[in-house]
Amino acid sequence: MGTATVINAIKNNTLEVIPCSAVLDGEYDCHNMSMTVPAVIGRKGIHDIKILELAKDEQVALENTVNVLSPLMQYVERFLGIK
């Protein structure tokens, strides 16, 4: 999937599911974290984020990633004066 696919989905409002980076707000139990997820793309950008059922090992790997990245994101936010 490339930029042209995303542009086409936005231009033609295809509501196609495309993997793209999005800031999550509770999806996959992640908050304020940008991750690549399957997203429905159309004229307004991301219309919806598809929640896939993860295998247990995938869920554990995702939780480990979040646990590693969260403190680093908080550090960057404090450094930038965001929080």
pTM to 2 decimals?
Answer: 0.79
* In the chain, where the domains are located: 3-80
Assigned CATH topology for domain 3-80: L-2-Hydroxyisocaproate Dehydrogenase; Chain A, domain 2 (3.90.110)
Sign of the Cα pseudo-torsion (67, 56, 18, 43, in order): negative
User: Which pLDDT score is estimated for 1?
Assistant: 61
Q: What is the pLDDT of residues 29-57, one digit of tens each?
A: 898 888 999 999 999 999 999 999 999 99
The more confident residue out of 55 and 83 is 55
Collect all residues with Cβ–Cβ distance below 8 Å to 41 and sequence separation of at least 6: 6, 9, 10, 14, 15, 16, 17, 18, 20, 47
Collect all residues with Cβ–Cβ distance below 8 Å to 28 and sequence separation of at least 6: 35, 37, 51, 54, 62
CB-based contact 47:40 (threshold 8 Å): yes
